[in-house]
Structure 1
Amino acid sequence: QLVAERLRGSTLVMIESNHDRDMLKVGPYPWSVKQRIASNLGHLSNDETARWIREDFDGEAEYLVLGHLSRHCNHPELARLSALQALDYHGSLFFRRAEERVRIALPDRASEWFEL
């Protein structure tokens, strides 16, 4: 809750959207690693990030950047779609031009430059 509170009013929010739960289940990692990733002390799944967007995101950021995507257990478009669907929960006036403002930080290259 403290993290969500501190992010309110931010100009840019970068939040982890590490894995798709179904892809993690069948992914290449040993079971112990999968358990750690999916635990409360692990990484945020696309679903958990979507929950944060629905429940705690204030919509004030110019950009919402999804980062730390797993190369093996996620796909950029799955993460993006999950975030966009969560934003739709609030209605079209909440985060206008969401298609343009939700960005993906890919794991194998530097992110784009954000002018704020």
Structure 2
Amino acid sequence: MGLRFSVLSSGSTGNATLVANGETTLMIDAGFSAKRIDELLQERGVSGEEIQGILVTHEHSDHIKGLGAVARKYNLPIYANEKTWEAMEKAVGKIAEENRRILGTGEARDFGSLRVESFGISHDAAEPVAYCFYDGKQKLSVCTDLGYASDKVKMSIADSDVIVLEANHDIEMLRMGRYPWNIKRRILGDMGHLSNEATGELMSEILSGRIKRIYLAHLSREHNIPDLARMSVRGAMEDRGCFYKDSEFKLCDTYFDRPTPWDTVADL
């Protein structure tokens, strides 16, 4: 079957992603009600009983809203670093001790033949992380909610086959939008979210013959639209001399209200 994934939903209203390899199925974040998560899983032909664990990126509600309820309903282990556990303790509620698992920032863990590595990112949370997934030679990276791409981030995701990567906002739409200035400043800052332009700049630095697809994720419903995100990311890449053919590399959409189709990372 190979390494495959579906972004169940992505945006400021909630986030969750499935990663599977035929032997293991993991979910990243659970930012919806338990009922909604069950609906999203059903759309991808998966039941909660098939999931072996939930990986948490950080404690913001759009990533953990249904975490406790889903973990209790299906008796699932939750993996997060110690600072994230401390920050989300009250919001998650009571979790069985055996299901409170620590996965430290920068640590790798094997779930059968599926290897997971976490790496630190810049965001206004206790200790936010993103994840890389490996199955043999196949590699998927899931990286959202970061204010800027550090050298560590670039190094972590550069040799991926597929990347789920944040393209949160159009800068001018955000500046002209109705948010108070303090929130705009947070989003635009180094502890906020990547803009379309910043995502394009990042891609121009790391794009290689190996990376086949980028899924643009965590788009703001207020300050971005998918067509604009794709156009702006591609434009920013081309402005920096990074040209590509659609047959070689694709920018793909994620959605705030429905899952992406299952995508197999690579046919090797």
Question: Whole-Å Cα distance in 1 between the matches of residues 219 and 181 of structure 2?
Answer: 19
**One-letter code aligned to 2:197:** D
* 1:101 CA displacement: 1.9
Give secondary structure in 1 for the equivalent of 2:263.
coil
Give secondary structure in 2 for the equivalent of 1:6.
helix
* 1:66 CA displacement: 0.5
**One-letter code aligned to 1:20:** D
Question: Whole-Å Cα distance in 1 between the matches of residues 171 and 184 of structure 2?
Answer: 10
Counting matched residue pairs gives: 113
Q: Which string of whole-angstrom CA distances, capped at 9 and with x for unpartnered residues, describes residues 42-97 of structure 1?
A: 000001101101123334222111000000001111110122224443234xx552
More helix by share: 1
Structure-2 residue corresponding to 1:108: 257
Give secondary structure in 2 for the equivalent of 1:65.
strand
Alignment of 1:20-99 (within 5 A): 20-88=170-238, 89-92=241-244, 96-97=246-247
**One-letter code aligned to 1:81:** M
* 1:7 CA displacement: 0.8
After TM superposition, which residue ranges in structure 1, 4 or more long, deviate above 6 angstroms? none
Contact 2:197–2:236, Cα closer than 8 Å, also in 1: no
Query: What is the root-mean-square deviation in Å for CA atoms of aligned residues?
Result: 1.8
Question: Whole-Å Cα distance in 2 between the matches of residues 86 and 45 of structure 1?
Answer: 11
Q: TM-score, normalised by structure 1?
A: 0.85
Structure-2 residue corresponding to 1:14: 164
| More off after superposition, 23-32 vs 81-90 | 81-90
Q: TM-score, normalised by structure 2?
A: 0.39
- RCO higher in structure (CA 8 A, sep ≥6): 1
- Tell me if 1:4 matches 2:154: yes
* 1:30 CA displacement: 1.5
Question: Whole-Å Cα distance in 2 between the matches of residues 37 and 114 of structure 1?
Answer: 30
* Greater Rg over alpha carbons, structure: 2
More strand by share: 2
**One-letter code aligned to 1:103:** C
Structure 1 unaligned segments of length 5 or more: list them.
none
Question: Whole-Å Cα distance in 2 between the matches of residues 2 and 101 of structure 1?
Answer: 24
Given the superposition, is the C-alpha separation of residues 97 and 114 from structure 1 closer, same or farther in structure 2, using an over 3 Å criterion? same
Contact 1:70–1:107, Cα closer than 8 Å, also in 2: no
Contact 2:168–2:195, Cα closer than 8 Å, also in 1: yes
Question: Whole-Å Cα distance in 2 between the matches of residues 76 and 91 of structure 1?
Answer: 20
